[in-house]
Structure 1
């Protein structure tokens, strides 16, 4: 049985990833800041775990609750500051990075000892095409018109961190996924993809074997090329 931890699993992409991986036979631990919001995950059969990725004590306590770990899905994220560029400051950048980047590192570092005991350790970092410069600069893409500096910068950092983790952990499969423009709370449900389509890449990467790709960035159609 594959044991999987998903952060930010109480709603939207995290909850759908939980549903699909349970359906695929995984034992899923659904991490969320407030377990009181986890009824939907419980109904799916997940084990709800209190996990705030911005709090190292919370992260350590969550890891102590896991009997084992084969797959880590770093899904928790915030949109952060979206106001006028003249109002952007370092505090706004820091708040976004604390969840999207530093939170990913906190959880990953805390999970390494458990993952190293697995016969097939896998890490999936949920990034975004908004962090991919080619998509940000190509007119006609969904990403081109996104103005948010902190979110885009944080997701670029997630993609780069994924590549570096993959190089540093050759015994593991470490990849990043792009949900695409999916209708979630992030965008007022304006995205043109369903949450199922938005989790296709994450679910596929969470299920790869030891001979699967590593250090790559995938959307639902496959690898995103440079």
Structure 2
């Protein structure tokens, strides 16, 4: 299915070429309508941008890209044989983008929280090793992170990167689902407490696994089914 709405610098826009097709009008007529609205200042500088597209002969042709506000202002003045159906499809396209952006913002907030919550766990590891008269090594932190990754993701961070083609410099949390992030965040918090209580690795593993199966496993399965539908 053709994507009617494009994302330019994080903002949804629709081109006049798409509008012409969806409304059943000649593109030059739609362009004339838009230019008229620009000349009368009904469309402001933030409502549109001049652009271009390739026609069937693969030659660049001028067009406008309208923001959602620009499209809604222009929509009543365009008309066309398929105007009503076109309006519905394009308005629905903008609505779907907003819903998707809202969900992504919520997931990003969860990612940011997981990033913040990771620091107390690493501090707890450091203090635990210092209490033992040892210096915390890099592998102490990676082992603890992978303890949680194995429980939630079923793989170490290295294996998860390889399976999902994630670069070494990229954070894997940016590729996790909302429920995966929530599970990791909760287990990080709990692990911090367990480390401060002096629990050994095996005891922490048993309790964290039990917590995951009790609070998150079913939710993760449901989420995977929704995403696969």
TM range (shorter): under 0.3
TM-score relative to the length of structure 2? 0.23
Which structure: greater helix fraction? 2
Q: Which has the larger radius of gyration?
A: 2
Bigger strand share: 1
Provide TM-score, normalisation by structure 1: 0.24
